[in-house]
């Protein structure tokens, strides 16, 4: 039986992955903000409910991540995998109390920070792994000059650099932590709560075209589940094709850029 932390596991794709882990006999710890969704998520586990728990946390700030890590560590000293499916889709200018944009902190930095604080819990696993979900962003180059403030925020110009932070972290973990594997999974397009902070016209657009383009939540969660449980992948890997675990792209990035992104992440979080 594996123990898997699913950050973002009270909703959408993360919840679907967590349900699958429990259905296959594993234990899950779910993180998310909304307590009611957390309770509903646990209730949805049916007879496996006693192998699931939920902590209400907010990972958009440095202190929020530290609090989340402390509360997780108070109850758990070992994980086989950490899965990050936290995400917000916020296009307008906004700042957390740390002066950073929530799209950056939730969709990248919290993954780095929380995992770093929980590394000791993973090191005891036979093949520890970290799996991070993003939108479709194949490994590649991006402009990291605005990192970490990304100010003034431009979703169109900056989203790729922010999401590619996950690829850099996957490459870094695989390179620096013995036996670790880490990867990034494209979510595809799925009807979840992710649209809640988007402008009205995007919500209307997704209602109109959604039925023609949306993947099912099961299909979107498939690669996360396989990457978390299977042992037949070794390289830092990007799964770009939703629902197809065999279509794997090795994450090959400029090592100096990875070092720079990691150095700056360490500098702002202290982790
Ligand atoms: N659905 C899509 O079409 C799509 C497309 C591209 C990428 N993605 C990515 O896929 C992943 C899964 O998203 P989803 O579609 O399943 O959306 P979702 O249902 O909205 O799930 C997002 C999760 O992130 C959690 N979260 C957000 N902000 C948080 C914060 N500050 N602190 C702690 N938890 C926070 C949410 O918890 P609460 O609900 O409690 O706030 C929820 O569990 C995300 O990384 C998303 O960016 C999805």
- The rounded Å distance from CA 8 to ligand 1 centre is 6
User: Which segments of the chain have a pLDDT < 70?
Assistant: none
- Cα three-residue angle 267-75-178, rounded to 5 degrees: 50
The helix/strand/coil state of 250 is strand
Atom in ligand 1 nearest the alpha carbon of residue 16: 16
| Predicted pLDDT at 203 | 87
User: In 214-271, which residue ranges form alpha helices assigned H by DSSP?
Assistant: 217-229, 255-269
Distance, CA of 105 to CA of 61 (rounded, Å):
7
| Predicted pLDDT at 213 | 85
Is ligand 1 within 6 A of the CB of residue 60?
Answer: yes
| Predicted pLDDT at 188 | 97
Distance, CA of 84 to CA of 88 (rounded, Å):
12
CB 186 within 8 A of CB 239: yes
Concatenating the DSSP letter of every residue in 176-189 gives HSTT-EEEEEE--S
Choose one of 12, 62, 239 to mutate for the ligand 1 pocket test, by most ligand atoms within 8 angstroms of C-beta.
12
Is ligand 1 within 6 A of the CB of residue 142?
Answer: no
The CATH number linked to 257 is 3.40.50.720
CB 225 within 8 A of CB 17: yes
- The rounded Å distance from CA 246 to ligand 1 centre is 25
| Atom 6 of ligand 1: nearest residue by CA position | 135
| Predicted pLDDT at 197 | 84
- The rounded Å distance from CA 159 to ligand 1 centre is 15
Is ligand 1 within 6 A of the CB of residue 10?
Answer: yes
The residue with tokens 């978390």 is 228
pLDDT in tens, 186-243: 999 999 989 888 888 888 888 888 888 899 999 999 999 999 999 999 999 999 999 9
User: Interhelix angle for 155-176 vs 110-123, to 10°?
Assistant: 20
- The rounded Å distance from CA 205 to ligand 1 centre is 19
Distance, CA of 173 to CA of 176 (rounded, Å):
5
| Predicted pLDDT at 235 | 95
CA dihedral over 129, 134, 137, 141, signed as positive or negative: negative
CA distances, 87 to each of 102, 106, 125 (Å): 9, 6, 26
Is ligand 1 within 6 A of the CB of residue 197?
Answer: no
| Predicted pLDDT at 205 | 85
pLDDT in tens, 110-120: 999 999 999 99
User: Considering its fold, how many domains does the chain have in total?
Assistant: 1
The set of residues, in sequence order, having a beta carbon less than 8 Å from that of 257 and lying 6+ positions away, is 141, 144, 168
| Predicted pLDDT at 202 | 86
| Predicted pLDDT at 216 | 97
Atom in ligand 1 nearest the alpha carbon of residue 84: 45
| Predicted pLDDT at 82 | 98
Is ligand 1 within 6 A of the CB of residue 135?
Answer: yes
Host domain of residue 26: 3-269
């Amino acid at each position: 039986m594996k123990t898997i932390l699913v950050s973002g596991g009270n909703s959408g794709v993360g919840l679907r992955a967590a349900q699958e882990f429990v259905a296959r006999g594993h234990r899950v710890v779910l993180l998310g903000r909304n307590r009611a969704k957390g309770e509903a998520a646990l209730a949805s586990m049916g007879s496996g409910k006693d192998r699931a728990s939920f902590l209400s946390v907010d990972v958009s700030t440095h202190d929020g991540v530290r609090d989340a890590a402390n509360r997780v560590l108070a109850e758990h000293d070992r994980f086989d995998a950490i899965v990050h499916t936290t995400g917000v889709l916020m296009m307008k200018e906004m700042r957390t109390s740390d002066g950073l944009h929530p799209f950056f902190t939730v969709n990248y930095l919290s993954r780095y920070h929380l995992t770093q604080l929980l590394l000791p819990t993973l090191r005891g696993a036979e093949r520890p792994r970290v799996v991070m979900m993003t939108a479709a962003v194949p490994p590649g180059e991006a402009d990291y000059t605005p990192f970490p403030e990304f100010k003034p925020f431009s979703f169109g110009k900056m989203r790729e650099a922010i999401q590619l932070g996950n690829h850099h972290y996957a490459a870094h973990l695989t390179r620096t932590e013995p036996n670790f594997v880490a990867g990034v999974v494209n979510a595809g397009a799925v009807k979840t709560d992710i649209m809640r902070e988007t402008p009205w016209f995007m919500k209307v657009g997704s209602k109109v075209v959604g039925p023609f383009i949306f993947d099912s939540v099961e299909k979107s969660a498939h690669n996360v589940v396989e990457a978390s449980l299977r042992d037949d992948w070794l390289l830092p890997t990007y799964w770009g094709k939703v629902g197809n675990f065999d279509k794997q792209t090795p994450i090959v990035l400029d090592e100096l850029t990875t070092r720079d992104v990691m150095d700056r992440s360490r500098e702002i979080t202290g982790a």
